[in-house]
Amino acid sequence: MNWDDTTDTAAERLVGPVADREDQAVEAALRPKDLGEFIGQEKVREQLDLVLRAARARGATADHVLLSGAPGLGKTTLSMIIAAEMGAPIRITSGPAIQHAGDLAAILSSLQEGEVLFLDEIHRMSRPAEEMLYMAMEDFRVDVIVGKGPGATAIPLELPPFTLVGATTRAGLLPPPLRDRFGFTAHMEFYEPVELERVVHRSAGLLDVEIDSDGAAEIAGRSRGTPRIANRLLRRVRDYAQVKADGIITRDIAAAALKVYEVDARGLDRLDRAVLQALLKLFGGGPVGLSTLAVAVGEERETVEEVAEPFLVREGLLARTPRGRVATPAAWEHLGLTPPRSTGTGQQDLFGA
């Protein structure tokens, strides 16, 4: 059970607004504290364990680490585990919060030796700050500019050795000079249902919730391969079980609860289904332009493209083509609709008659 604190993700859409303080406290309590507790991501765990154990054996600061992958897969959790495994404090910030080189210089100059600096959404950091980070990562030094114009001077500032843990959902946006300065790079994969079942069982134990194997499997199957979503759905199903049943989560209870929260058997929520329904019912399965599709569902173009589409594409329900968005045969089947015999748009050429 591993998930990040990034907001505005599918997790929030599936269970309502961003978690309040109580929910955030629960999430913090559910986080694994070391690599042994961390479920899934076996290759990343094995590789990271070697990096950290070797650094401890040398008595040195761990190499800089870059974690990439979709929101909710455990990047923030791993950063905290890295700090715990190294016995070091951790400083947490984000790329959007660092808009000037001076912002980064202030953070770097206050770091302690061996401290872990977690920089979330590192690809959104400003270019001046990014260029300052190059020297800080490689030489543990930054140049602070004092004054303006011809009289400006650069004062070198030595930094204590530290470990930067960068997290990004869009690794392709990182410039090569920045990527190359990380000693270890890991890509976080989506979880298999069996792994998410383990996540749900572990979280249920920590929450003192009684759940059977079928109930855990039902929640895991609707969690979009993401531990954060699995944990939040578990808490909502727990609420339903306490109010509507005897507090024990079974498959039927989980299914009934998730129906209330509009999460279907494949993990699609209201927005996902609205996009598919518009594509199928209004546009005959496509192709249709993204802007037109967004207007049809009453959402911004960016919302459809960045929030709904990735999961629909990954599930094989929607395809992006040069002519627009097209529904796959699986989309028609999932919504229980019959595709037209001929769309007249060339869709048969894309998926076969």
> What letter would DSSP give residue 124?
G
Distance of CA 10 to the CA centre of its chain: 9
Give the whole-angstrom CA distance, residue 315 versus residue 323.
20
Q: Which of 6, 9, 61, 76 is catalytic?
A: 76
Q: Is 76 a catalytic residue?
A: yes
Four-CA torsion 172, 174, 178, 184, nearest 10 degrees: -50
Q: Which of 6, 77, 163, 169 is catalytic?
A: 169
Give the whole-angstrom CA distance, residue 236 versus residue 261.
8
Give the whole-angstrom CA distance, residue 221 versus residue 251.
11
Q: Which of 5, 120, 269, 272 is catalytic?
A: 120
Give the whole-angstrom CA distance, residue 49 versus residue 55.
10
Q: Which of 31, 75, 224, 325 is catalytic?
A: 75
Give the whole-angstrom CA distance, residue 33 versus residue 291.
44
Give the whole-angstrom CA distance, residue 87 versus residue 38.
17
Q: Is 120 a catalytic residue?
A: yes
Q: Which of 31, 198, 202, 228 is catalytic?
A: 228
DSSP 260-304: HTT--TTS--HHHHHHHHIIIIITTT--B-HHHHHHHHTS-HHHI
Q: Is 43 a catalytic residue?
A: no
What are the structure tokens assigned to 202, written together?
Answer: 């572990």
Give the whole-angstrom CA distance, residue 8 versus residue 74.
16
Give the whole-angstrom CA distance, residue 82 versus residue 62.
9
**Residues annotated as catalytic (active site), given as ranges:** 75-76, 120, 169, 228
